[in-house]
Amino acid sequence: MKSIAEIEEEIVDDFSLFDTWDEKYEYIIDMGKKLKPLEDEHKKEENKIKGCQSTVWMVSELKDGKVFYRAESDAVIVKGLVSMLIRVLSGHAPKEIIDAKLEFIDKIGMKQHLAQTRSNGLLSMVKQMKLDATVYQAKQE
């Protein structure tokens, strides 16, 4: 099992192949399209992440001491971004998720999506994922 930092590094490597913003977004859109859809039963108010111009639903579960996330959005780029977050954070212990620095977002040039919290909500997604991990961590103790 790779560490969070190692997966982050993989993504940064993937993005280093791209010369243009167009290519970066093509890649993100492609990942968004490939993200496994969330069942309709999960698309309810309490699973919505606030602070997004688009709607994001996210669910998580703790299995064998690891947190697994699944999510969906009505916007493809957001889906791509959330799919990267899932790739990085899903399947790790709560403590590792809480401590994750997620520097890859800056390194691949997507930091603007963190700053523009009102329209893009990447920050809200990260917060929600870490919050879930914190809850699981507390339950384990």
Partner 1 sequence: MTETLEHTAFDVQAIRQHFPVLNRVVKGKPLVYFDNAATTQKPQVVIDALADYYKNYNANIHRGIHSLAEEATAAYEATRDTVQQFINAQHREEIIFTRGVTESINLVAYTWARTNLKSGDEIIISGMEHHSNIVPWQLIGEMTGAILKVIPVNDNGELIMEEFYQLLSEKVKLVSVVHASNSLGTINPVKEIIDAAHKVGAVVMIDGAQSTVHLDIDVQELDCDFFAISSHKVYGPTGIGVLYGKRALLEAMPPFMGGGEMIKDVSFEKTTWNDLPYKFEAGTPNIADTVALKAALDFVSSIGKATIRQHEDALLKYATEQLQSIEGIRLIGTAKQKVSVASYVVEGVHPQDLGILLDNQGVAVRTGHHCTQPLMNRFGIPGTTRASFAMYNTKEEIDVMIAGLHKAIKLLR
User: How many whole angstroms separate alpha carbon 138 and alpha carbon 124?
Assistant: 21
Q: Which of 1, 17, 22, 64 binds partner 1 (CB under 8 A)?
A: 22
Give the footprint of partner 1 on residues 79-118 (CB under 8 A): none
- Beta-carbon contacts of residue 46 (< 8 Å; ≥ 6 apart): none
- The beta-strand segments (E) located in 47-110 are 56-63, 66-73
Q: Which of 6, 39, 74, 106 binds partner 1 (CB under 8 A)?
A: 74
Is residue 29 near partner 1 by the rule CB under 8 A? yes
- Beta-carbon contacts of residue 128 (< 8 Å; ≥ 6 apart): 49, 58
Catalytic residue among 52, 110, 126, 129: 52
Instruction: Give yes or no: 128 in active site.
Output: no
Nearest to 71 by CA among 31, 105, 24: 31
Is residue 45 near partner 1 by the rule CB under 8 A? no
C-beta closer to partner 1: residue 1 or 17: 17
Instruction: Summarize as ranges the residues that interact with partner 1 (CB under 8 A).
Output: 21-22, 25-26, 29, 53-55, 74-78, 119-120
- Indicate which residues carry an active-site annotation: 52
